[in-house]
Amino acid sequence: MFNNVIVRRPCRAMVEGITSNPQLGKPDYEKALLQHDSYIAALKECGVAVTVLPADERYPDSCFVEDPAVITRKCAIITNPGAASRNGEKDEILPAIRKFFTEDQIEYIKSPGTLEGGDVMMVGDHFYVGRSVRTNEEGIRQFIAILEKHGLSGSEVTLEEVLHLKTGVNYLENGNMLVSGEFVHKPEFAQYNRVEIPEEEAYAANCIWVNDTVIVPEGYPAVEKAVRSLGYKVILVDTSEFRKLDGGLSCLSLRF
Ligand code: CIR
């Protein structure tokens, strides 16, 4: 059960955000704001209180708040984003985290360790961590040590194709996991009820479970159908402008 969500409004500079898909074009800022409004409304419908942080023009990718922090049941971990243009976002998320956690509940990933929250997938008290271009071995080592200190556990997953772990795999609670591409056959996920997402809808493997509702990106009928058939209530949110920056639904919030 989640009670709180933190989001950050997209900034105008988002058009200069990092992307591996420049062929999709630059995001339309006004449209992104409207999509962000719908995202906040969908979250509220799931019964969570939404903290909306102001846009920060210094960081084009700062609406993707999932990356500079990871929030667990026991502690909050300020990460050390591996993307240079995003690293400073960790200092900007901290005041928001301090509103919910005391100093002894806040931990930090330190250089040379790097880690981004998009590489972390929570399954109960276990956390899968993707080793990616953004998250390195030392970052994972520190992260798992922090988890263990708080009575939680973590394990590494190697990534070959995707930007972040959750680009291709997402846990929907109740044993259900959406998997695409390289994650379909990973042995570490064999124990879950894996729902395979077709290649042409791979972007929508990034759905989020919020209190028995699953928010699904709009325009991916196979994923929508699969999630509905698992018995969840579904809310669709169009994320086309965030997709242009490799951003999905999970990247846009911290849920706890
Ligand atoms: C980036 O490349 O960092 C952003 N353009 C997208 C971040 C997406 N975040 C995520 O998957 N958690």
Tell me how far apart the terminal alpha carbons of the chain are, to the nearest angstrom.
8
So what's the pLDDT on residue 38?
A: 98
Cα separation, 212 vs 55, in Å, equals 29
Tell me the average pLDDT across 219-245: 98
Closest by CA position to 88, among listed 112, 60, 107: 60
Output Rg (C-alpha) for the chain, integer angstroms.
17
Under the banding of pLDDT at 50, 70 and 90, the label for residue 193 is very high
Among residues 46, 63, 207, 251, which one is catalytic? Answer: 251
- Asked whether the beta carbons of 117 and 139 are under 8 A apart, the reply is no
Peptide bond into 112 cis (omega under 30): yes
Q: Residue of the nearest CA to atom 11 in ligand 1?
A: 118
Q: Among all chains, which residue has been given the structure tokens 């990534």?
A: 159
So what's the pLDDT on residue 29?
A: 98
Under the banding of pLDDT at 50, 70 and 90, the label for residue 98 is very high
So what's the pLDDT on residue 2?
A: 98
Tell me the average pLDDT across 8-29: 98
pLDDT tens digits for range 62-74: 999 999 999 999 9
Under the banding of pLDDT at 50, 70 and 90, the label for residue 170 is very high
pLDDT tens digits for range 19-28: 999 999 999 9
Pocket test for ligand 1, best of 14, 70, 133, 163 (most atoms within 8 A of CB): 163
Pocket test for ligand 1, best of 64, 70, 165 (most atoms within 8 A of CB): 64
Considering the entire predicted model, what is its pTM?
0.97
Among residues 46, 63, 164, 207, which one is catalytic? Answer: 164
- Asked whether the beta carbons of 157 and 177 are under 8 A apart, the reply is no
Tell me the average pLDDT across 91-115: 98
So what's the pLDDT on residue 155?
A: 98
Under the banding of pLDDT at 50, 70 and 90, the label for residue 233 is very high
* CA 52 to centroid of ligand 1, rounded, Å: 19
Q: Is 126 a catalytic residue?
A: no
Q: What residue ranges line ligand 1, CB within 6 angstroms?
A: 17-19, 61, 64, 66-67, 83, 86, 118, 164, 166-167, 245-248, 251
So what's the pLDDT on residue 191?
A: 97
Cα separation, 70 vs 114, in Å, equals 13
